[in-house]
Amino acid sequence: MRPIILFLLLFVITPLTELYVLIAVGAKIGALSTILLTLLTATVGILLVRTQGLVTALQANAAMGRGEIPAVAMLEGVVLVLCGVLLLLPGFITDTIGFLLLIPALRYRVLLYMLQSAAVTAHAHAHNSSDPDGFSANYHNDEEVVEGEYEEVSRPKPSIPHTPSDPYKSGK
């Protein structure tokens, strides 16, 4: 997604849409009820995020205890932080998205989709590089390449004379 579109979506369209929905709900149920409902959804959401975050941390700890890398648990933790942010923002649309991402099966599907799209993007980027094998994705043809040979020379380490006044060497 282009940065300008992402910027407009995050900082212009989303707040204006949230404001419209808040005003519409406030007109139907009243301003005080809308404010209380917004506070209630934020409180319940944060409690759910905290509970699921603890479960995710325990899963990560169990995976590390088995000698595995807790990659999925770490990614779920990132999504849970995003859920917390969405639930703290005032508005019903962000609360709905935050609550939907609290459903473990849906959260897993979203993570799977993101990982697959990231893998496809990385694969396409590697194969669009100038190297036919796809290994040098950051190589540009206009860079100057200098070839040469080298020889590794090992130098003897200088020895430090032992002095009796050194408390760390004398064994005291």
Please state, rounded to an integer, the average pLDDT across all residues of the chain.
82
Residue 34 in domain: yes
Residue 20 in domain: yes
Structural domain including 37 reads 3-123
Q: How much is the pTM?
A: 0.66
Residue 171, Ramachandran bin (φ over 0: left; ψ between -120 and 50: alpha; else beta): left
First to last CA, the chain: 66
Residue 86 in domain: yes
Contact in structure between 129 and 139 (CB atoms under 8 Å): yes
- What is the average pLDDT across 144-171? 67
Residue 169 in domain: no
Residue 23 in domain: yes
The C-alpha angle 60, 64, 66, rounded to 5 degrees, equals 120
Residue 110 in domain: yes
In the chain, the number of structural domains is 1
| Local confidence band at 118 (pLDDT 50, 70, 90 cut-offs) | confident
Residue 14 in domain: yes
pLDDT at 169: 54
